[in-house]
A and B are shown apart, each in its own frame.
Chain A
Amino acid sequence: MNAANPNAPNTTGHVSATNTKRALAHTLAVTSGKGGVGKTFVTANLAAALASLGQRVLVLDADLGLANLDVVLNLHPKVTMHDVITGTAVLVDAIVPAPGGFDVLLAGSGLVEYSRLTPEVRDKLLEILETVRPRYDWVLLDTGAGISDVVLFSVSLAEQVLVVATPEPTSLTDAYATIKVLATQQHRRVLRLVVNQTSKMGEAKTVHAQLKQVVDKYVNQALGAVVRLDLLGEIRSDVAVRESVLRRQLLLEAVPGCAAAQAVKILAARLIE
């Protein structure tokens, strides 16, 4: 008998009894603390990489306030999550296929009005997640920047968290703040890190070491618990990234052979290990 993981956050209220074959999708929140570090870029390309590994993937635009997944993917569906929440459309109509072989559920700009989490929006988001989970292997939640209650709530919906940071001091500080909040408020004990836009190979290790050191000293000691920060991968600065972003194409579609695309694929492989 496997004991239930005592550290698993109680996000869904569901207790899955299936240990052998997963009936519900893994849920992974991609968050960053600071905006503009490539969170949506990582989410979209990671989804494509997972899809290329045969996984059924849905990306849920959990950046309710200021979504730009639509911009990154160059998708402009008529029906969005906003319509689902307001009850003018059904969920299946709002889920659209994205270029990378995965599905996406976009928030729609109307959701800006809800960017304060009302209980209704909370319930609706939970309901949406519960509905889609049986149909996919992975649900990625692209969360907003910052650590507002909306962001924390969307992160709380996911079992796993991937923190995206760049080596920049501001990004590092915000990533650390996010890790601290998730550890203290959501009792997260395992967090994963991907370092984006590194300028030299191995820089991610340094960034990870810096973060880990502060987490060990300040978070773990304060909590009296061990918060594990795993380095999942490193994506180096790559001109191909900028080009694909400007062309509003997925890197994995536009320049699948480039170093950054390879790095994302490695990330995906490690994730499903």
Chain B
Amino acid sequence: MQLVQQAGASLPDEVPGSEPWLQALVDVLCDLSSRDALTGLVNRRSFEMTLAREVDRVARSGESALLVILDIDHFKNVNDSHGHAAGDLVIQAVAQQICDAVRPMDTVARIGGEEYAVILPNCPQAFGRAVAERIRQKVARMSVSIGPNTTLNITVSLGGAFAPQWVRSNGTLWMERADRQLYRAKAEGRNRACLEPTAISQVSAEEKGMLFGKPVTELSEDSE
């Protein structure tokens, strides 16, 4: 009971000890066990389950799903210069910005100290970069107030990879690929989003038009 209350969740309204009360309590506990205490985001355990499910789903459906991993740049400096309480505020603020930048159907998780992950089901490859950039910009534009006269500006680095389509794989491999891109983003100077090259070269409408039009006979160069 104490645990539930301490976590800020309300106790069920039902008669204590009754079956509905127990069920409601179990629901509350399940929810608590899948959430990160500081940010209220999905926690690592729950994230891994969601990731595995998404891999299976994509393998069957061939849908395009994006995994983005992001990390707060130079977070250690925040903790060192402003204290851990300020660090916590930053972590919460970034979590909020991420949630605001994605769709309700997307899963936003805190998977490590200053590391987050977002699973975006049904995200077309063409939109991947836009989503990652939106998150990056939202975070970069906000100011976190950590004291009466102190605000901090924060940046994040993001790495993303699309789920393998039509093939069986696992969440670990998917994570590794996104992670590699995150490393790349850090190495290339931070405050940027790197997505694994999808190799889907966009064939533009113009190119398609030309592809399906009649072959143009060599235009004469009489005018020259």
Contact = CB atoms under 8 A, between A and B. Distances in A.
Contacts of A116: 164, 167, 169, 173-174, 177
Contact of B212 (A65, A147, A172, A184): A172
A176 B207 contact: yes
A152 B199 contact: yes
A149 B199 contact: yes
Contacts of B147: none
B30 interface: no
Interface in B204-223: 204, 206-208, 210-213, 215-216
A209 B166 contact: no
Interface in B179-224: 196-197, 199-201, 203-204, 206-208, 210-213, 215-216
A115 B211 contact: no
A67 B201 CA distance: 24
Contacts of A149: 196, 199
Contact of B200 (A65, A113, A147, A169): A147
A66 B174 CA distance: 19
Interface string A183-226: 01100000000000000000000100111011001100000000
A173 B199 contact: no
Of the listed residues B174, B196, B203, the one surrounded by the most CB atoms of chain A closer than 10 A to its CB is B203
A118 B173 CA distance: 9
Q: Is the interface of A mostly helix, strand, loop or mixed?
A: helix
Contacts of B197: 185
A253 to B, nearest CB: 31
B177 A176 contact: no
A148 interface: yes
Given A112-B167, A112-B168, A173 B177 contact: no
Of the listed residues B165, B166, B168, B177, the one surrounded by the most CB atoms of chain A closer than 10 A to its CB is B166
Nearest to A174: B203
Q: Is the interface of B mostly helix, strand, loop or mixed?
A: loop
Contact of B215 (A66, A152, A206): A206
Interface in B134-157: none
A217 B210 contact: yes
B199 A148 contact: yes
Of the listed residues A116, A149, A177, A185, the one surrounded by the most CB atoms of chain B closer than 10 A to its CB is A116
Given A211-B211, A214-B211, A180 B201 contact: yes
Contact of A65 (B166, B173, B199): B166
A112 B206 CA distance: 37
Interface residues of A, number: 29
A252 B174 CA distance: 42
Contacts of B208: 173
Interface residues of B, number: 25
A218 B211 CA distance: 11
Contact of B164 (A148, A206, A211): A148
A214 B210 contact: yes
Nearest to B206: A218
Given A184-B201, A206-B215, A66 B207 contact: no
Contact of B216 (A146, A169, A213): A213
B203 A180 contact: yes
Given A172-B212, A209-B215, A217-B210, A115 B200 contact: no
Contacts of A206: 215
A66 B204 CA distance: 29
A72 interface: no
Given A172-B212, A218-B207, A181 B168 contact: no
B168 A176 contact: no
A149 to B, nearest CB: 6
A147 B207 contact: no
Contacts of A180: 201, 203
B170 to A, nearest CB: 8
17 contacts: A66-B167, A112-B168, A115-B167, A115-B168, A115-B169, A146-B165, A147-B199, A148-B164, A169-B212, A172-B211, A172-B212, A173-B203, A173-B211, A176-B211, A180-B203, A185-B197, A217-B210
Given A115-B164, A218-B206, A218-B207, 17 more contacts: A66-B167, A113-B169, A116-B169, A118-B173, A147-B199, A148-B199, A149-B196, A169-B211, A172-B211, A173-B203, A180-B203, A181-B199, A185-B197, A206-B215, A210-B213, A211-B211, A213-B216
What are the 8 closest A-B residue pairs judged by CB atoms, nearest first? A115-B167, A209-B215, A65-B167, A180-B201, A116-B173, A147-B199, A214-B210, A181-B201
